């Protein structure tokens, strides 16, 4: 049995155990045997981060490091390709790396990849920092926005920059890396190729593959962040890949800003349709689910609440246009509020965490037109003449079944009614209903 299969079985058992499932005794014994085998022959764990740094990727890295510590791995390789991300998630990852019992390697790969902004901080914090040919790192100047979407003022921006610069200098100095280059990446947004980073002693190696990393560092002694020195034994080590869980993959998918925006719009549209036509059920159910998924995604993405309020205000304007004869002014205001709110909704420090303008503007306009179409249908329904009850009977044409002097019987709307008139009406004359009187009686007039 291969070590890869044994490792997967062990991971499966751990996941079952964490979720409270019970397994049969022979499965437990088999997993225990696999664990003992793996413990005797430690492996190298490989995790791949090809996304912005946010709570989902942070959870993935943190859980993987914990699992590597439990399984006594000799090394963790984080294959990283990221444009950056959120400062809070980045600091969680760095804290875990610095406290890890297992040495961690940041490997910027494949060729064409980058470890920018938060990715640069994570690379500097790792025990070893390696880049593949044709990659780059740096450009780590902090960018912040407020809840209203306004950029930080000059004083606050300077404070944040100084804090980030001190943070990177502290880590780089402890790791024995080039402090000046690390600080310049923060203060001046400098970015470095793999050769520039290697020559400046910012990274430890330029490697084509993970195997080359293991061969190069086998037998080398490295100093951990706590000052401890260890010698790496990486000869003939298996590289075991630790993928994201299904839950993490799902959360990573819905954290896409374009998808989160679609979920919000479809949710609002479904709820609007349900409230406008109570009893439809399906639009309300789908709308509620979409809204909940969008809210969860917004916990990951940095939301501008002014933009969200503008979107909700646009929905209110569309609804008011049904009740108030504004001659389309409210609907136009709703379209403007919808588009502006959509543009402002997600204001992240990097483009990868913001929805594309080429996407959200046409989508916002399209959703607005759908709302307007539903408003027009509602207005027409409200202004349409009633066809039931007393209002529906008024104006109907019937026939006098008896002479009205001034009371008698008329046949109208498929029914025989007691009727009265202001003049005598002969039997068989066409009559028109002008009013519905109490006691199931109608008032009619003669049609010439």
pLDDT at residue 379, rounded to an integer: 62
Give the rounded percent of residues in the chain with a pLDDT score beyond 70: 80
- 159 as an active site residue: the answer is yes
Indicate which CATH number applies to the domain containing 102: 3.90.226.10
- Of the CA atoms within 13 Å of residue 383, those in its CB half-sphere come to 10
Give the side-chain half-sphere CA count within 13 A for 309. Answer: 6
Same domain, 16 and 48: no
**How large is the average pLDDT for residues 241-254?**
89
Query: Domain check: are 234 and 214 in the same one?
Result: yes
Domain of residue 406 covers: 389-446
In Å, how far from its chain's centre is CA 214? 37
**For strand 415-420 and strand 441-446, is the pairing parallel, antiparallel, or unpaired?**
parallel
Same domain, 58 and 137: yes
181, 173 Cβ separation under 8 angstroms: no
Using alpha carbons, select from 42, 22, 125 the residue that is nearest to residue 80.
125
How confident is the model at residue 316, as a pLDDT? 82
3-class secondary structure, 245: coil
Which of 213, 244, 275 is at the close of a domain? 244
Report pLDDT for 262.
86
Task: With a cut of 60, say whether residue 352 has pLDDT above it.
Answer: yes
Note if 189 is an active site residue. Answer: no
The overall pTM is greater than 0.85: no
- Are both 96 and 215 inside the same structural domain? yes
pLDDT bucket at 299, cuts 50 / 70 / 90: confident
Q: Which of 39, 88, 111, 159 is catalytic?
A: 159
For the cut 80, the answer to whether the pLDDT of residue 22 exceeds it is no
Task: Report the largest interatomic distance among the alpha carbons of the chain, rounded to a whole angstrom.
Answer: 119
Q: How many structural domains does the chain have?
A: 4
Asked if 25 and 61 sit in the same domain, the reply is: no
φ and ψ at 236, to 5 degrees?
55, 25
Distance of alpha carbon 162 from alpha carbon 165, whole angstroms: 5
Return the CATH number at 420. 2.40.50.140
What span, in angstroms and rounded, lies between the C-alpha atoms of 81 and 107?
Answer: 9
d(CA 448, CA 430): 8
Catalytic residue among 58, 64, 100, 117: 117
Q: Are residues 34 and 73 in the same domain?
A: no
Segment 176-192, tens digit of pLDDT: 999 999 999 999 989 99
d(CA 239, CA 215): 12
Residues 87 and 152 in one domain: yes
SS3 271: helix
């Amino acid at each position: 049995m291969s070590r890869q299969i044994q490792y997967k079985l062990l991971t499966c058992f751990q996941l079952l155990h964490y979720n409270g499932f019970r397994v049969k005794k022979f499965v437990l014994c088999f997993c225990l045997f696999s664990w003992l085998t793996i413990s005797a022959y430690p492996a190298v764990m490989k995790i791949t981060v090809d996304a912005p740094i946010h709570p989902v990727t942070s959870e993935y890295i943190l859980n993987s490091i914990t699992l590597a510590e439990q399984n006594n791995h000799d090394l963790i390789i984080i294959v990283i390709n990221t444009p950056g991300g959120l400062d809070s998630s980045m600091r969680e990852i760095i804290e875990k790396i610095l406290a890890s019992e297992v040495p961690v390697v940041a490997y910027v790969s494949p060729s064409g990849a980058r470890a920018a902004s938060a990715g640069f901080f994570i690379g500097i914090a790792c025990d070893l920092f390696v880049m593949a040919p044709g990659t780059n790192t740096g450009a780590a100047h902090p960018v912040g926005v407020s809840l209203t979407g306004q950029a930080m003022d000059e004083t606050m921006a300077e404070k944040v920059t100084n804090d980030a610069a001190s943070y990177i200098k502290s880590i780089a100095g402890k790791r024995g890396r080039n402090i000046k280059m690390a600080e310049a990446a923060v203060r001046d947004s400098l970015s470095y190729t793999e050769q520039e980073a290697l020559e400046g002693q910012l990274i430890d190696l330029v490697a084509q593959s993970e195997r080359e990393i293991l061969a190069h560092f086998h037998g080398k002694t490295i100093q951990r962040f706590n000052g401890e020195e260890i010698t790496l034994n990486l000869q003939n080590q298996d590289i075991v890949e630790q993928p994201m869980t299904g839950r993490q993959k799902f959360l990573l998918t819905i954290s896409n800003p374009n998808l989160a925006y679609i979920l919000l719009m479809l949710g609002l549209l479904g709820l609007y349709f349900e409230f406008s036509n109570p009893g439809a059920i399906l639009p309300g159910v789908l709308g509620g689910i979409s809204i909940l998924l969008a809210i969860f995604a917004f916990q990951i993405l940095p939301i501008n609440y002014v933009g969200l309020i503008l979107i909700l205000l646009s929905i209110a304007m569309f609804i008011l246009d049904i009740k108030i004869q504004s001659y389309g002014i409210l609907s136009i205001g709703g379209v403007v509020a919808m588009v502006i709110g959509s543009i402002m909704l997600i204001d992240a420090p990097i483009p990868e965490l913001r929805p594309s303008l080429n996407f959200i503007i046409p989508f916002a306009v399209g959703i607005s037109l759908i709302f307007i179409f539903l408003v027009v249908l509602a207005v027409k329904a409200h202004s349409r003449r009633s066809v039931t009850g007393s209002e529906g009977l008024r104006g109907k044409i019937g026939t006098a079944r008896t002479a009205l002097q001034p009371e008698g019987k008329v046949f109208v709307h498929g029914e025989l009614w007691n009727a009265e008139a202001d003049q005598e009406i002969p039997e068989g004359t066409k009559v028109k209903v002008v009013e519905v009187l109490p006691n199931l009686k109608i008032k009619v007039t003669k049609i010439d």
